Amino acid sequence: MWVLMPLAFAGMLLKAFRQQLSSLWSALVPLFSFLRTFWLAGPQRKQQQQQHKESQAENQKVEDDLPITPTSVNYHFTRQCNYKCGFCFHTAKTSFVLPLAEAKRGLLWLKDAGMEKINFSGGEPFIHDRGEYLGELVKFCKVDLQLPSVSIVSNGSLIRENWFQRYGDYLDILAISCDSFNEEVNVLIGRGQGKKNHVETLQRLRRWCRDYRVAFKINSVINRFNVDEDMNEQIRALNPVRWKVFQCLLIDGENSGDDALREAERFVISDEEFDGFLDRHKEISCLVPESNQKMKDSYLILDEYMRFLNCKNGRKDPSKSILDVGVEAAIKCSGFDEKMFLKRGGKYMWSKADLQLEW
């Protein structure tokens, strides 16, 4: 009897709460099932994340191992120059220039490795052999190698009309460095040269480029002395196909550091100052800006020995010469960032045949 009473009482309680218990259970079932899936899926998800990471790393490795194509190459065949720009990125540390036949051999190998554009630079490329060496390389690249684009970057001071008459046909683009339209600022920067006026030289070269059908480009390095200048009017009047605007960059061993020939620290400007210059000239459609970030690793630079220069560590570390180890081996040490090259618009309409200019 005493045993049966609690049992009966428990039975009554159970009956009374059955409905509530049943609805509580129905509510808990999906929660338990969710937690179960979550607990089971936890390790699975971790495994998937790990696999994703591994495949990403593998893809990156495959990308890194892919041979770099030297689509666009800058060959600084001489370091000699008649100017003394205080921020110069490629100073006169040697007077070496390869024999012409050797330089042509290297250019042929680069073409075989996929080169489409060559840019000759320096130092001042017109200084060696009064521009004849340069003329022969330009002609070789256009006629023998049939490169779509052959260009030169020069300070312009040593170019004569006679050079255009002989080699103008083979040249696609001539880029002239001009950092200011104020001659006093040019002198401060180091681009002054005795009685010659850099701005007048620029205007004369613009005429010759029109007369001899060479696309005309301007390169400017924005630095402490020209950062506040308004160049809108002069650039519009010169009407270049492209106006490359660089932010002054420090390169250890070239324009900064103990073993450098220049001390460019006093020329450096902040990113904000550079942006301010760009903003002032934003209406000029041919302006192509290049901040330090974009510029540093996005150029394939060959020095006077045909060694690729790697700027990854803030200085120009040379590879072996392509003439000794071939293009493929040398280019691996170039530090070239192909993605940044494409991002900064490194591949553009660079052949004068395609530019359809109104000369």
- Residues identified as active-site: 81, 85, 88
Question: Using the rule CB under 6 A, which residue among 84, 213, 312, 332 binds ligand SF4?
Answer: 84
Phi, psi of 292 (to 5 degrees): -55, -40
299 binds ligand SF4 (CB under 6 A): no
d(CA 85, CA 154): 13
124 binds ligand SF4 (CB under 6 A): yes
Q: Where are the alpha helices (DSSP H) in the chain?
A: 4-65, 100-112, 132-139, 161-167, 183-189, 198-211, 232-238, 271-280, 292-295, 322-325, 327-331, 338-343, 352-355
Angle (CA) 274-341-172 rounded to 5° is: 95
- In the chain, DSSP finds a helix count (H) and a strand count (E) of 13, 10
Taking CB under 6 A as the binding criterion, the range among 12-20, 26-34, 80-88, 305-313 that sits at the site for ligand SF4 is 80-88
Taking CB under 6 A as the binding criterion, the range among 18-26, 29-37, 50-58, 116-124 that sits at the site for ligand SF4 is 116-124
218 binds ligand SF4 (CB under 6 A): no
- 194 and 158 in contact (C-beta within 8 Å)? no
70 binds ligand SF4 (CB under 6 A): no
- Of the pair 191, 352, the CB lying nearest ligand SF4 is at 191
Output the CA torsion sign for 274, 173, 303, 204. Answer: negative
β-strand pairing of 307-310 with 287-290: unpaired
155 binds ligand SF4 (CB under 6 A): yes
97 binds ligand SF4 (CB under 6 A): no
309 binds ligand SF4 (CB under 6 A): no
Question: Using the rule CB under 6 A, which residue among 75, 77, 83, 336 binds ligand SF4?
Answer: 83
81 binds ligand SF4 (CB under 6 A): yes
Question: Using the rule CB under 6 A, which residue among 68, 72, 78, 85 binds ligand SF4?
Answer: 85
179 binds ligand SF4 (CB under 6 A): no
Helix (H) or strand (E) holding 300: strand 300-302
Q: How far is CA 271 from CA 37, 168, 227, in A?
A: 51, 38, 11
- Of the pair 113, 188, the CB lying nearest ligand SF4 is at 188
88 binds ligand SF4 (CB under 6 A): yes
d(CA 252, CA 255): 6
Q: Which residues bind ligand SF4 (CB under 6 A)?
A: 81, 83-85, 88, 90, 122-124, 155, 177
